[in-house]
Amino acid sequence: MTEQNAAAAGDFAIGGDLPVHRLGFGAMRLTGPGVWGDPEDPDEAVRVLRRTVELGVNFIDTADSYGPFVSEQLIRKALHPYPEHLVIATKGGFTRAGPGDWRPLGRPEYLRQQTELSLRHLGVERIDLYQLHRIDPTVPLAEQLGELAALRDEGKIRHIGLSEVSVADLERSREITDIVSVQNRYNLVDRGSEDVLEYAERENLAFIPWFPVATGELARPGGPLDEAARRHGATPAQLALAWLLRRSPVMLPIPGTSKVAHLEENVAAAGIDLKDDEFAALTTAASGE
């Protein structure tokens, strides 16, 4: 079994001044079904968060809409006062009416309200990384980002990031204000945001892939991912995370879970050293999916 410490993934400095280990933790799954309400086992959720930090993870990603607010409140309960160098990122820009219901809302007054609530729920005076969860097409982009920039100028946000955007969105946004990160769906078998990742590499922006451990048919018995996992004494999901870490130095995967055992398995992926031929084989095989 590989080493269980996120430090083995290497480091990246978000915004140039927030160094984190490149294997983080996504806190969405610490809520109830449909990302709504409390988790089935709140005590286990607290154990997961505390074990996350013990395993060297110093980048936790959440959002006001996870619960709503359940995830943020659990993070505070489990970890406050926060360990030194722990970076907590959150997001705003969705409103929730029930399980599985997600509606973009980017009015400036709403973004300000949600930022203030996140500050309170997390128990911090400044949010290290605040991400616009979705661009609201009904509100001018300059108004949405302008409000976040104002909150940054007031000292309530340190850095601004975006989620589920195109290269064109990134370019337009960076004309309005500084952007340090992008969070798009990306994994071994779903690389629809390849152009966004390449842009992030060129501009040294953090790329935070959500849904990072999808493996598809590559994990079938005897398949290329299954065979590579066997050679490493690992699981296909661990190899999928190792592939992401190898893919780009700006990549910050944030696999999430509600179980300590699964958390430990995910973090162990940081210690897997994919050889050049293994990385190439998996890249090629996934391209044919």
In 3-state terms, the chain is what percent helix, strand and coil (to 5)?
45, 15, 40
Residue closest to 60 by CA, chosen among 95, 85, 33, 41: 85
- Cβ(235)–Cβ(242) below 8 Å: no
- Cβ(86)–Cβ(58) below 8 Å: yes
Residue 199 annotated to the active site = no
CA distance 93 to 153: 19
The DSSP element (H or E) to which 72 belongs, if any, is helix 70-79
Question: Considering Cα of 87, then 208, then 150, then 137, what sign does the dihedral take?
Answer: negative
- Cβ(30)–Cβ(256) below 8 Å: yes
66, 130, 186, 199: which is the annotated catalytic residue?
66
> Which residues participate in catalysis according to the annotation?
66
